[in-house]
Amino acid sequence: MRQKFFVLGIAGLIISLTIFFYFKIGLVLSVAIFILLLIGFANSIQQKHSILRNFPVFGYFRYFFEMIAPGIQQYFIERSTDGKPFSRNQRTLAYQRAKNIDSTSPFGTQLNLNRSSYEGIKHSIFPTTVNEELPRVLVGGPDCKQPYSASLLNISAMSFGSLSENAIMALNKGALNGNFYHNTGEGGLTEFHLQGGDVTWQIGTGYFGCRDDRGGFDGGRFAEKANLPEVKMIEIKLSQGAKPGHGGVLPAAKNTAQIAKIRGVQPNITILSPPGHSAFSDTKGLIEFIANLRQLSNGKPIGFKLCIGKTSEFEAICQEMIMQNCFPDFITVDGAEGGTGAAPLEFADGVGMPFEPALIFVNKTLVRFGIRHKMRVICSGKVISGYSILRAVALGADMCNSARGFMFSLGCIQALRCNTNECPTGVATQNKMVVKGLVVTDKAERVFYFHKNTLHAANELLAAAGKKSFAEIDIDIFMRGDEFAHLSDLYFPDNLKSVTIH
C-alpha cells in the first residue's frame, strides 16, 4: 500500500503542477498533495504504528472510526434495553427523575418477560396507601455515642479528583436539600464536600486527609476532621467492587496541583493507593482500628466497606468482633459490578463476588453469628431505581448507596471516558473549561429530585406489594420466571407426558 500511495501521490503531484504551469490553476491542489506526501513519508519511516506505516495516510481513518465508534454504538445502534453498565432505558429514567418530569413509559414493557431470568414483584390485590414520607434508618450500635438518622438512599463513594469540584459541590448541595448523606470517596474530605450536606468520610488505604509524612495514618489529623459537624459517619474502605485488592487509581491527567496538595502527593503523576492498609494487617487489627476511630471521633458511627472475596475472611472478622466485643455500626457491601473512575480491566471483569450473592452471604453470616442486630448493612452496586432498592432490602440491606445513579442526575451520559480526563459533561474531569459547563445550582436541584423521586417510586412499589414499611420486605415478595418452568415445558413436552415432575 505504501508503494501505491507514493506512486499515485507523485503522479498526482506532477499532473497538478503541470496543470498549474500551463493553466495557472490547481495550486491549492498541488500544495495539498505535497503535504500529504510529506505526512505519508513521515509515517512510512516511523516504527510505532504498523497501520500508519503500511497505510501512510488512509491509516488515520482507522483511528477516526475507532474514536467515534462508541458514540455511534450508543446513539444509533444500541437498543433501548441494551447498553452496559446501564441501558438507555435506565439512563433515561434517571434523567427524567432528576429533571422532575414525567418518567412514565408508553405502550408496555420492552423486556422479554417469558425468559426464565425474568424477575418481578408479587403485587397484592389489596395494595396499601403510598407513604409520602421518605424512609429513614437509624445508624449506631451499642458503642455509638452519636447515632445518625440516614436516608434509605444516599450518595455512594466518589472522590474529588475522580469527579470535578463542581460535581462534588452539586452532590453535596443536593444532599443538603434532600437530607441524605454524601460519601466522600477515598480521595479525602475537601472544601467541596463541605457545602452543608451530611457527609460520610471514607478512609482509604492512602489515608488522604489524615495522612502523615510517610503516607501512614495520622490520628491527630483524623480527629480534627472527623469531629466536624458535617461528618456524620466514617467508613473504612477495605476494598471496592470494581477493583478489589487493587487500591484506588487517580490517572496522572486528573492529578492536578490542587488535588495533589489536598492528598499530600506529587502532582501530574498517576496515584496508586496501596492494595491494603498500613494501620492494620489482620482481623484483630481491623477491629482495634474501628475502636480507635470511634474514640477519636467521639463516638460517631464507624463502619467498613468491602467487596466479598474469600468468604472465610469475612467469617473471621465476625468472630473477631465477638471476641473483642467491638462491632462496627455499619458494613457497606459492594458488588463486583460496582463502578469506578479507573480500574484494570482484569480486576473490573474478573475479581470479586457479585452484589446479589455477596449481600445474601453477609446478611446470613451476621445472622448465623447472632450479631446482625448490632449493625446496619449498606449495599452499593448498580442501585438506580425504586425496584433495585426494594430488591436490595429484600436481600438483606438496611440502606442503599448509589454512585452512577447520582452521576446521571449530574448529566453523565455514560461516555466511558472517566479515566481519560475527557468527560464531555464536566462530571468526571479536571478540565477547567469543561467543568464550567456544569452549573452547580442547577445540578444540585437535579440531585435532590433524583433522590426524592426514586425513593417515592420505592414507596409506590412497597404499597403495590401490600406492605406498609420496608421492615416487612423479604425475598418472598419477588418471583422469578424459572419458578413457572417445568422439565416437560423445556424438553420435548409431547414425549414426556408420562414423566412425573416432583
pLDDT at residue number 502: 46
Report residue 254 as a C-alpha cell. 486528573
Domain presence at residue 162: yes
- DSSP annotation of 76: I
pLDDT at residue number 491: 52
Domain boundary among 44, 77, 110: 77
Q: What's the pTM value of the predicted model, to 2 decimals? A: 0.85
Domain presence at residue 99: no
Domain presence at residue 414: yes
The reply to whether 182 and 59 lie within a common domain is: no
How does DSSP assign 24-72, residue by residue?
S--HHHHHHHHHHHHHHHHHHH-SS-HHHHHSTTTHHHHHHHHHHHHHH
The reply to whether 305 and 222 lie within a common domain is: yes
Select from 189, 193, 190 the least CA-distant residue to 174.
193
At 215, which CATH number?
Answer: 3.20.20.70
- DSSP annotation of 211: B
Domain presence at residue 121: no
The amino acid that residue 103 corresponds to is S
Report residue 136 as a C-alpha cell. 429513614
Q: What angle do CA 498, 501, 502 make, to 5 degrees?
A: 145
Strand partners, 202: 235
pLDDT at residue number 501: 47
Domain presence at residue 201: yes
* Residue for grid cell 434523567: 95
Select from 337, 356, 357 the least CA-distant residue to 348.
337
pLDDT at residue number 494: 54
pLDDT at residue number 487: 53
Give the number of domains in the chain: 2
Domain presence at residue 218: yes
The reply to whether 390 and 312 lie within a common domain is: yes
pLDDT at residue number 117: 78
Domain boundary among 77, 99, 120: 77
Which secondary structure element, helix H or strand E, spans residue 91, and what is its range?
A: helix 88-98
The reply to whether 60 and 172 lie within a common domain is: no
Q: CA dihedral in degrees (395, 396, 397, 403; nearest 10)?
A: -30
* Residue for grid cell 467469617: 315
Select from 271, 241, 245, 240 the least CA-distant residue to 160.
271
pLDDT at residue number 405: 92
Domain presence at residue 420: yes
The reply to whether 31 and 146 lie within a common domain is: no
The reply to whether 182 and 54 lie within a common domain is: no
The reply to whether 284 and 421 lie within a common domain is: yes
* Spans of the chain below 50 pLDDT: 492, 495-496, 501-502
Phi, psi of 149 (to 5 degrees): -90, 105
The reply to whether 256 and 390 lie within a common domain is: yes
Domain presence at residue 502: no
Which domain, by its residues, includes 251?
136-480
The reply to whether 143 and 73 lie within a common domain is: no
